[in-house]
Amino acid sequence: MSDQELLRKAAAGGQDDEAARRLGRSDWLATAVQIFLSEGIEAVRITRLADALSVTRGSFYWHFKDRDDLLDGLIAFWSQKNTAAILSAIEGAGTLLDGILAIFDAWIDPGRFDPRLDQAMRDWARRSDAVRSAVAEADDIRVRAIEALFARFGYGSPEAFIRARIFYFTQIGYYALSLEEPLAQRLSYLEAYYETFTGVPMDSEAAAAYRSKHLGSPDP
């Protein structure tokens, strides 16, 4: 699902899709997301949005009950984008390797899992109990989904849960530390990461194919 479709879905919030589309509620939400990413949650104010959209402040109330209604839509967009990216990656994986690489695909592609959005939500969570709860719930859903992937392919309890936590927390920590590496460098560690996360060696042909897929050239 594209960001625009997700925005329309998140924006609907009590209205049917046709009403949301007609009233332009998703346009307000899209602008809120961009300001949230670039300036933080305190900048997501009705007047700021109206100025960005070149409309009157009163126009906001044609589409939202209040600022909290808008912020609920922002949270919904984040959940429908980032959490769904992980869940959809895992769904239907035929092997553990397929599932792990599908999650890697989602994390590599900001169009699917947006790390800036995830970090902005975590920054906001430091100042809001409600958002902290939403983030904690999302983390739990994601970890449990990865745990289920490990369990599906023979890992017992609590090993599947601990491996899922290590796998997930490693990536979230990567974002939190704002690490910057060329993709080629990250993928040069592919086999080591896979064996660390799963406890089994990665097939060399699968590793070569994965690097070729993302780097656009055969693995040396």
Tens of pLDDT along the chain (220 residues)? Answer: 677 677 666 655 544 444 334 447 899 999 999 999 999 999 999 999 999 988 888 889 989 999 999 999 999 999 999 999 999 999 989 999 999 999 999 999 999 999 999 999 999 999 999 999 999 999 999 999 999 999 999 999 999 999 999 999 999 999 999 999 999 999 999 999 999 999 999 999 999 999 999 998 654 4
Q: Are 44 and 77 in contact (CB under 8 A)?
A: no
Q: What structural domains does the chain harbor?
A: 3-180 (1.10.357.10)
Contacts of 59 (CB under 8 A, 6+ apart): 50, 53
- Rounded to whole angstroms, the Cα distance separating 87 from 75 reads 17
